[in-house]
C-alpha cells in the first residue's frame, strides 16, 4: 500500500515539474486549432522578406482568445503582474504601417530581456492589431472587411458623426468606419485589453505622419502636455495636437476613459526603417513606461511635474 502511495506521489511530482517546465509554452497547449503556429510561421516568412532578422515571434509567450476574419490570432503578451500600474502598447492598427509592427516586436524582446522594467508594473504589448491587413499580399490600412479600425471604436459621438464625417470627406475606402461601432473583432480585442488591464497609459504606434500626439484625462492634461513637449525636444520629433475622430482610440481611451494615450506617428511606413525608429524612440518609450501616474479615472494625474519625470 505504502509503495503504491509513493508511486502515485512520485507521478504527481513528476507531472507537476513537467507542467512547470512547459509553462512558457502554455499558449501552444491552448492552440488546439493550430492557428497560432500557422500565424507565427506566416509572420516569420513576412519578417524575413522585410529583413527583420533580429525579431523572433516564437520567443515571446503570446496569449490570444479571438481571431480575425481570416483566422489570424489577435495576440498579446503580458510582462509583470501589477494590477495597478499597467501600460498598453499597440502596433499595426493599420496593416500597411509596417515599422510599427517591428517596433512592437522589438519592444517585446527588449522588455523580456530587462525584467527590471516591469518589476512593479505590467506591460502589455499587442504588436499587430490588424494581422489581415499586415499579411495581405499588398498590406492594407483596413482589415479584411475593409474597415478602418481607428474609426470603429464605440465612442459616444460615433452614431452622430462617424458615417456623416466619412461621407462628407468623400467616403474614402481607407477611412471606412463600418456600419456600426465595434463591429470588428479587432475593435473588440482593443476594448477587451482596456477592460481587462485597465491601463493608466497607452502608446499606439502609427505611421507615416511624423509626430507625437496625445489625449488624456482633463484632470491633468496640462502636465501631460508639458511632459510631451519635453519628450518631443529630447527625441527631436514634432508635437502635434491632431484632435480626435469619432471611433478613434484617442477619443475612446484618452478623451472618454481618462487614460493617458500617446500616439507615436513614425516618419515613414518604410519597413527598412524599423530598427532606426526603435533606436530613435526607445528613450521616449522607456520614459513613458516610467512616467509615474496616481489616482484612478477620472482623477488620475501625473505624480511629479514633467521636469522630474523626465529626469531633468
Ligand atoms: Zn495609422
pLDDT digits (tens, 9 = 90+) for 91-114: 999 999 999 999 999 999 999 999
Instruction: Express each pLDDT in 117-143 by its tens digit.
Output: 999 999 999 999 999 999 999 999 999
Q: Specify the pLDDT at position 249.
A: 97
Mean pLDDT lowest among 14-18, 108-112, 297-301: 14-18
Instruction: Express each pLDDT in 251-287 by its tens digit.
Output: 999 999 999 999 999 999 999 999 999 999 999 999 9
CB 187 within 8 A of CB 149: yes
CB 134 within 8 A of CB 57: no
Q: Does pLDDT of 218 surpass 80?
A: yes
Q: Does pLDDT of 311 surpass 90?
A: no
CB within 8 Å of 98: residues ≥ 6 apart = 50, 134, 139, 207, 269, 270, 271, 274
Q: Specify the pLDDT at position 207.
A: 98
What are the φ/ψ torsions at residue 102 (nearest 5 degrees)? -55, -45
**Ligand 1 centroid distance, CA of 251 (Å):** 15
Helix axes 274-290, 98-113, angle to 10 degrees: 50
CB 153 within 8 A of CB 247: yes
Instruction: Express each pLDDT in 153-167 by its tens digit.
Output: 999 999 999 999 999
**Ligand 1 centroid distance, CA of 299 (Å):** 29
Q: Which residues of 189-204 are buried (b: 16+ CB within 10 A; e: fewer)?
A: bbeebbeebbbbbbbb
Q: Specify the pLDDT at position 294.
A: 86
pTM summary value: 0.88
**Ligand 1 centroid distance, CA of 308 (Å):** 31
**Ligand 1 centroid distance, CA of 263 (Å):** 9
Over range 19-43, report the average pLDDT: 70
Q: Does pLDDT of 16 surpass 60?
A: no
Q: Which residues surround ligand 1, an ion (CB under 5 A)?
A: 94, 206
Q: Does pLDDT of 22 surpass 90?
A: no
CA–CA distance from 206 to each of 10, 92, 172 (Å)?
53, 7, 19
Tell me if residue 215 falls in helix, strand or coil.
strand
- CA-nearest of 163, 142, 267, 292 to 205 is 267
Q: Specify the pLDDT at position 233.
A: 96
Pairing type for strands 301-302 and 293-294 reads antiparallel
Amino acid at each position: 500500500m505504502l509503495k503504491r502511495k509513493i508511486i502515485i506521489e512520485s507521478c504527481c511530482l513528476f507531472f507537476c515539474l513537467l507542467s512547470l517546465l512547459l509553462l512558457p509554452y502554455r499558449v501552444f497547449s491552448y492552440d488546439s486549432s493550430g492557428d497560432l503556429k500557422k500565424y507565427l510561421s506566416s509572420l516569420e516568412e513576412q519578417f524575413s522578406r522585410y529583413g527583420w532578422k533580429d525579431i523572433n515571434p516564437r520567443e515571446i509567450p503570446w496569449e490570444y482568445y479571438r481571431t480575425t476574419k481570416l483566422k489570424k490570432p489577435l495576440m498579446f503578451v503580458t510582462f509583470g503582474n501589477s494590477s495597478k500600474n499597467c501600460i498598453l502598447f499597440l502596433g499595426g492598427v493599420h496593416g500597411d504601417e509596417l515599422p510599427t509592427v517591428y517596433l512592437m516586436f522589438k519592444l517585446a524582446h527588449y522588455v523580456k530581456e530587462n525584467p527590471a522594467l516591469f518589476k512593479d508594473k505590467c506591460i502589455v504589448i499587442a504588436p499587430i492589431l490588424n494581422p489581415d491587413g499586415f499579411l495581405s499580399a499588398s498590406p492594407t490600412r483596413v482589415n479584411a472587411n475593409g474597415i478602418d479600425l481607428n474609426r470603429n471604436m464605440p465612442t459616444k459621438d460615433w452614431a452622430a458623426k462617424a458615417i456623416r464625417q466619412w461621407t462628407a470627406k468623400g467616403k474614402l475606402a481607407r477611412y471606412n468606419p463600418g456600419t456600426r461601432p465595434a463591429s470588428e473583432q479587432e475593435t473588440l480585442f482593443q476594448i477587451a485589453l482596456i477592460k481587462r488591464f485597465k491601463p493608466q497609459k497607452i502608446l499606439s504606434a502609427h505611421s507615416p505622419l511624423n509626430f507625437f500626439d496625445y489625449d488624456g484625462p482633463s484632470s491633468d492634461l496640462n502636465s501631460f502636455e508639458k511632459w510631451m513637449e519635453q519628450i518631443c525636444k529630447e527625441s527631436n520629433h514634432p508635437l502635434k495636437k491632431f484632435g480626435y475622430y469619432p471611433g478613434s482610440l484617442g477619443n475612446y481611451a484618452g478623451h472618454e476613459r481618462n487614460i493617458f494615450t500617446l500616439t507615436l506617428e513614425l516618419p515613414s511606413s518604410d519597413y527598412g526603417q524599423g530598427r532606426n525608429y526603435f533606436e530613435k524612440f526607445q528613450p521616449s518609450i522607456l520614459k513613458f513606461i516610467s512616467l509615474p501616474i496616481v489616482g484612478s479615472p477620472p482623477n488620475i494625474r501625473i505624480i511629479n511635474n514633467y521636469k522630474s519625470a523626465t529626469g531633468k
